[in-house]
Structure 1
Amino acid sequence: GTPARRNRRRRHHGGLTADNKLVWIDTDEPKSPSRMGPRLADPAGVRMIHVETAAEMLAACEDTLPVDVAVCAAAVSDWRAAEMADHKIKKRADDAPPTITLSENPDILATLSRRNDRRPRLVVGFAAETNRLIENASEKRQRKGCDWIIANDVSPGTGTFGGEANTVLLISDAGIEEWPRMPKDKVAERLAERIAATLTSEQAVC
């Protein structure tokens, strides 16, 4: 996303003030779907935790616990190279293509969702799908164990990747909410307001 989309400020939504911690891998700002620009600056008003790998991201997330809400918006790779070379691997004329062995990355969303101790009160995941949006996103929510899934269609022609707007579904035990198409920063604001309303309602019941 753009710096505006990534700027998680200390905000007041629905009577709830959030003390935000943002765990992220340093990212370049996309100028287009195929071209990256300068490195994004740290957003203001949050505690930044910089990581470089999926394992570091999981450890950092667990170190922040307990928290009220975990919003797992990062698109973490499912796999990583099993071995990392500490030097350049040179190509020679008689070399065959190298074999790359992969290892599975930790599943951050599932790990946070299925904790028996210090589980966030609300865990929010994201599903980017190219087909069977509702079915695939609903299955992911059940498989990961999170409370909400924000599902969006990223198939070619939607303009989601590299675009400024998005159409999402919020899927939870209560059903499916279809949000109208809106700028991505407005999607983030609406999600923050929805989270605040849910936590405030739970506090009122307690």
Structure 2
Amino acid sequence: MNASPIRCLITAGPTREFFDPVRYISNPSSGKMGYALAAAARAAGWQVELISGPVALRPPEGVEVIPVITGREMLAAVKGRFPACDILIKVAAVCDMRPKHYSHNKVKKDAITLTVEFEPVEDILKTVAATKRPDQVVVGFAAETQDVEAYARRKLEEKNLDWIVANQVGGPESAFESDRNAVQLIGSGGEALDFGPGSKTDVAHQLIGYLKAFHFAP
């Protein structure tokens, strides 16, 4: 009798937070790294669910895609699926804040205020990682512009993660929009491994291969 496939939950892409029905704030995430990881996980024989913010990418073959737009929608989707997964890889670049006041109708140009009050968006990774079981693996991503490893290690500890992928924003191997990447995988046991520089497809296969061998080898 064959063992059940590893159940992998991945988040990818940006989220959007709206001022009114036609205006929002977001970030430059293309979703390419998350989609590459979903494809690599599927190629490794895993059962993959991909919770995706709005991107212009073709869904990976054999992967179930759950589209969301806002951080609140992504949180609900992750919370609903996390208990059944073996490994969560949270790549999505969630918009950290949203306008405190939302207008259900388009605000006319001459009525727009130049001062906007914001409130924090729920911390998806910290929320779900706080509920993880000993048999679950949680992997986060940290996209930073400076002191990348230090910030990543702090996030790893504060959010109760097993692993974090430290990602430099900017430069030739940029995290956002680029087809290439160079990352450092940092473990809660003190491990630190470099992957790349290379295409996001190659880096994704290397990351999934390492995580599979470390946690799910027969």
Same fold (TM over 0.5): yes
Could you tell me which of 198, 202, 218 is aligned with 1:182? 198
SS at match of 1:20: strand
Confirm or deny that 1:87 pairs with 2:105: yes
Post-superposition offset of 1:74: 0.1
**Structure 1 counterpart of 2:46, one-letter code:** A
Structure with greater contact order relative to length (CA < 8 Å, sep ≥ 6)? 2
Could you tell me which of 191, 205, 209 is aligned with 1:193? 209
Confirm or deny that 1:24 pairs with 2:52: yes
Distance change >3 Å, CA 24–CA 96, structure 1 → 2: closer
Cα deviation code 1:78-111 (max 9, x no counterpart): 111122111121133xx68343221111111111
Match of 2:42 in 1: 11
SS at match of 1:27: coil
Do the aligned residues in 1 keep the contact of 2:32 with 2:179 (CA within 8 Å)?
no
Could you tell me which of 15, 29, 47 is aligned with 2:64? 47
Match of 2:11 in 1: none
Which consecutive unaligned segments of at least 5 residues does structure 1 have? 29-39
User: TM (normalized to structure 1)?
Assistant: 0.79
Do the aligned residues in 2 keep the contact of 1:22 with 1:48 (CA within 8 Å)?
yes
Match of 2:130 in 1: 114
Match of 2:75 in 1: 58
SS at match of 2:119: strand
Cα distance in 2 for residues equivalent to 1:48 and 1:158: 30
**Structure of larger gyration radius:** 1
**Structure 2 counterpart of 1:150, one-letter code:** V
Identity %: 31
Do the aligned residues in 2 keep the contact of 1:3 with 1:41 (CA within 8 Å)?
no
Confirm or deny that 1:74 pairs with 2:74: no
Match of 2:162 in 1: 147
**Structure 2 counterpart of 1:74, one-letter code:** A
Cα distance in 2 for residues equivalent to 1:2 and 1:194: 21
Do the aligned residues in 2 keep the contact of 1:169 with 1:178 (CA within 8 Å)?
yes
User: TM (normalized to structure 2)?
Assistant: 0.75
Confirm or deny that 1:129 pairs with 2:144: yes
**Structure 2 counterpart of 1:180, one-letter code:** G
Q: Aligned residues, how many? A: 184
Do the aligned residues in 2 keep the contact of 1:68 with 1:120 (CA within 8 Å)?
yes
Do the aligned residues in 1 keep the contact of 2:126 with 2:160 (CA within 8 Å)?
yes
Cα distance in 2 for residues equivalent to 1:19 and 1:90: 47
Which consecutive unaligned segments of at least 5 residues does structure 2 have? 1-29
Distance change >3 Å, CA 3–CA 150, structure 1 → 2: closer
**Structure 1 counterpart of 2:115, one-letter code:** T
